[in-house]
A = this chain, B = another copy of it.
């Protein structure tokens, strides 16, 4: 399916403020960017680099006054998420080198403390894809998904204590559980078609059966429409924006995702 996604972000800046933005989707194995625009006002010098995860990041210094960023893209992505029941657990010795870092605990995914819970949740599941499905179901049934319920990122331990959270929180707990079973897992931030209420979204991917699969405990069914902007070990690695100096907050933050017709 083809989606037109857009993000409109405005700040009112008091003193010149360095930003690192991560707002540019890339073409990759799961999506194709056919058209993309990225407008910064006022028109300041921006510099782009690629981080260690392959994400495109933009460095700017926002001057005082209104500072706005408008990004828009037309992207082809899958209508349904790939499924692979019974896809096997990948033995550690067979994991690609580049996947190994997704086994390590990280800021918001303290996988070193979730071994017992993960084993309990997946006790009856075949090692691999089915374990992740069990984790996803458990999240869905146990942790209340309350969009907008958290202002800042909390960790998997905190999510598990609160038993509720935003999309990012459910994903963090899912990742921590996967990694504690030696299944590589990573956070993805991006857009999702028909998300309610519409906003930026976060989900997770797990590496089983030799590739990454999408999991999202906040959605039912296996509908697709996912557009990724950034990949990382957790939310610490994939901020839509990091801003340094006195805190500033968006005065506008508008996300849109609509399906479009393409002649092909």
Contact = CB atoms under 8 A, between A and B. Distances in A.
Contacts of A103: 242
A40 B42 CA distance: 33
Contacts of A51: 97, 100-101
B38 A33 contact: yes
Tell me the interface secondary structure of chain A in the complex.
mixed
Interface string A27-71: 111001111111111110111111110101111010000000000
Interface string A112-143: 10000000000000000000000000000000
Contacts of A74: 37
Contact of A97 (B18, B49, B91): B49
A29 B59 CA distance: 11
Contacts of A12: none
A8 interface: no
A169 interface: no
A107 interface: yes
Interface string A144-158: 000000001100000
B93 A61 contact: yes
A46 B59 contact: no
Contacts of A43: 76, 262-264
Q: Which 10 A-B pairs have the closest CB atoms?
A: A43-B264, A27-B48, A18-B92, A35-B37, A49-B97, A92-B244, A105-B107, A104-B236, A52-B52, A18-B93
9 contacts: A26-B48, A27-B47, A41-B264, A43-B76, A59-B93, A92-B244, A104-B242, A112-B152, A112-B153
